[in-house]
Amino acid sequence: MPVILAIESSCDETSAAVCVDGHILSNEIANQTVHEKYGGVVPELASRAHLQNIVPVVNVALDTAGSTLKEIDAIAFTQAPGLIGSLLVGGQFAKSLSLALGKPLIAVHHMQAHVLANLIENPKPSFPFLCLTVSGGHTQIVVCESPTRMKIIGETIDDAAGEAFDKTAKLLGLPYPGGPLVDQYAKSGNPDRYQFPEPKIDGYNFSFSGLKTSILYFLQNAGHSLVYKENFKATDEEKKIFIENNLPDICASVQNRIITILLHKLEKAATDTGINNICLAGGVSANSGLRQAFTELGRRKNWHTFIPPFQYCTDNAGMIAITGYYKFLEGQFADLSIRSSARAEW
């Protein structure tokens, strides 16, 4: 019955979780609100907030789980990828605890943990499964052969899906992070009103930068055209009025295009690999339109589909804990000399 304490601090969420024998007993998340007024995460402020939050968050996670530090068998932490200052806070905390308690350390890759969030609750996918992982920094299609054997078969060549949502929101004058707001407005909009372009990219790779550019021109033209017009640019006032009058339809149309870009590639990967256990993961899998379209596609294709509960979609230590649990079972421990890394190979 291994007891794993897990720490996640890769970006702007400070989180701690306790996992007992593969069951998550607590998953505490402190959101950092300090970034809101800057329209994005400020790395220096994120590191400072992690320093303030980490001890209380770990204490609450232990209390909620009814555990004490003495009962912990191993400490798992997010080693990569992410903001280096943020990763260092969680990493140094985990190392210090490992040294003080004399318990092993488990280094976890944040993107692998997003995939394994699908193994937290029942029903769980059987192996092999395909996972579409969509977050603020990554968009990947992964073949998962076992909890510790995964291969990326497709990824974005420029922006991530979450960035496409957040940048759209910014162009529309919505606050950061805009993904959840675009989701909200899209609920009452017409997804077929504006036809944004779908890029032609080889294989299972994605691209979102063209979509971003067409939204920019579309708004500059106050909805008259999706392409750059040499002799026409709406005034700021015209642009503002156009957005105010059409916000739900714009959000629904952009969201619809992001979803079709994602699901066309996922469908191709599923057909080519013949795998029919298909999962979603990452912050963007909290998007209600994507969840619905993914489930409908799965029904049409006779897939077994899986989506983590909301609290395990966006960044959280529960997913680090479940990954740590499987690494514990395989004896995959890290040395104290392991370094946090902003970028990392699998």
For residue 49, the SS3 value is helix
Length of the chain in terms of residues written: 346
DSSP 138-187: -EEEEEEEETTEEEEEEEBSS--HHHHHHHHHHHTTPPSS-HHHHHHHHT
Binding partner of residue 287 among Zn ion, ligand KG4, none, CB cut-off 5 to 8 Å per kind = ligand KG4
Smallest gap, in angstroms, from Cβ of residue 166 to ligand KG4?
5
Name beta bridge partners: 16: 7, 28
Q: How far is CA 309 from CA 91, 299, 314, in A?
A: 26, 19, 10
Q: Given the rule CB under 6 A, which of 15-23, 130-138, 244-252, 321-329 is the region that contacts ligand KG4?
A: 130-138
Q: Which stretch binds Zn ion (CB under 5 A): 63-71, 189-197, 230-238, 307-315?
A: 307-315
Q: Is 177 in the site for ligand KG4 (CB under 6 A)?
A: yes
Residue nearer to Zn ion on the CB measure, 306 or 312:
312
Residues numbered 178-207 forming contacts with ligand KG4, rule: CB under 6 A: 179-180, 183
Q: Which of 295, 296, 343, 325 is nearest to 117 (CA)?
A: 325
Q: Which is nearer to ligand KG4, 223 or 282 (CB)?
A: 282
Instruction: Name the closest residue to ligand KG4 (Cβ).
Output: 283
Contact range with ligand KG4 by CB under 6 A, out of 88-96, 217-225, 227-235, 279-287: 279-287
d(C-alpha 8, C-alpha 341), whole Å: 14
Which residues are CB-contacts of 251 (< 8 A; sequence separation ≥ 6)? 168, 172, 181, 182, 183, 185, 186, 189
Q: Does the protein bind Zn ion through residue 315 (CB under 5 A)?
A: yes
Nearer to Zn ion, 183 or 315 (CB): 315
Contacting ligand KG4 (CB under 6 A), which of 165, 196, 206, 312? 165
Task: Supply the DSSP string of 263-326, one letter for each residue.
Answer: HHHHHHHHHHH---EEEEESGGGG-HHHHHHHHHHHHHHT-EEE---GGGTSS-HHHHHHHHHH
Single-letter code of the amino acid located at 338: I
Q: Which of 53, 133, 135, 139 binds Zn ion (CB under 5 A)?
A: 135
In the bound state with ligand KG4, the residue whose beta carbon lies nearer, of 156 and 221, is 156
Compute the C-alpha angle 262/300/200, nearest 5°.
30
Instruction: Candidates 162, 298, 308, 318: give the one binding ligand KG4 (CB under 6 A).
Output: 162
Smaller CB distance to Zn ion: residue 185 or 312? 312
Check if the beta carbon of residue 282 is closer than 8 Å to that of residue 135.
Answer: yes
- Residue closer to Zn ion (CB basis): 8 or 249: 8
> Which residue lies nearer to ligand KG4 by CB, 278 or 313?
313
Residue 173: count other Cβ atoms within 10 Å of its Cβ: 13
Span interacting with Zn ion, options 54-62, 127-135, 172-180, 219-227, rule CB under 5 A: 127-135
CB of 174 to ligand KG4, least distance (A): 10
Omega cis (within 30) before 125? no
Q: Which is nearer to Zn ion, 116 or 219 (CB)?
A: 116
**Rounded to the nearest whole angstrom, what is the least distance from the CB of residue 185 to ligand KG4 in the complex?**
11
Nearer to ligand KG4, 249 or 315 (CB): 315
Segment lying near Zn ion (by CB under 5 A), choices 74-82, 263-271, 273-281, 311-319: 311-319
DSSP state of 30: E
Residues that bind ligand KG4 (CB under 6 A): 11, 135-137, 162, 165-166, 177, 179-180, 183, 282-284, 286-287, 314-315
Residues that bind Zn ion (CB under 5 A): 135, 315
